[in-house]
């Protein structure tokens, strides 16, 4: 199944002038900063890499759930269903979360 190309384009626009690399992953696309994934798209959902210490708080946001493709939940990774990133404000907040975490990691 293909991933949501419109959501990927919205994320590209949101990332603006930030130098990111795009990489095919999880059957979709990931946006990496200094080799670390910040966010991406899997099927119809957004994927966001977050500070694991914020996970419980962020899971309370609309559409947010643990990212789990294999039966082993990935700590510090969230999947955001379409209702949670529908508006520009929602998408911007998620992109910001992913960027902040990726920029705090050492470059790969």
Q: How far apart are CA 42 and CA 45, in angstroms?
A: 5
pLDDT digits (tens, 9 = 90+) for 30-86: 999 999 999 999 999 999 999 999 999 999 999 999 999 888 888 899 999 999 999
Confirm if 26 and 42 have CB atoms less than 8 A apart.
yes
The residue among 47, 86, 39 whose CA lies nearest residue 66 is 47
pLDDT at residue 1 is higher than 70: no
* pTM for this entry: 0.94
Three-state DSSP state, 43: coil
Phi, psi of 87 (to 5 degrees): -90, 160
Confirm if 94 and 39 have CB atoms less than 8 A apart.
yes
Maximum distance among all Cα pairs of the chain, rounded to whole angstroms: 36
Query: Which residues, in sequence order, are CB contacts of 84 under 8 Å at separation 6+?
Result: 46, 61, 62, 63, 64, 90, 94
């Amino acid at each position: 199944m293909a991933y949501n190309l419109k959501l990927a384009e919205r994320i590209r626009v949101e990332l603006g002038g930030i130098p990111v690399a795009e990489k095919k992953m999880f059957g979709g696309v990931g946006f990496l900063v200094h080799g670390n994934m910040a966010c991406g798209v899997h099927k119809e959902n957004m994927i966001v890499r977050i500070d694991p210490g914020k996970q419980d708080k962020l899971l309370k946001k609309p559409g947010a759930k643990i990212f789990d493709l294999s039966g082993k939940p990935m700590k510090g990774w969230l999947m955001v269903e379409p209702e949670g990133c529908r508006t520009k404000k929602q998408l911007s907040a998620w992109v910001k979360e992913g960027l902040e975490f990726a920029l705090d990691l050492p470059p790969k």
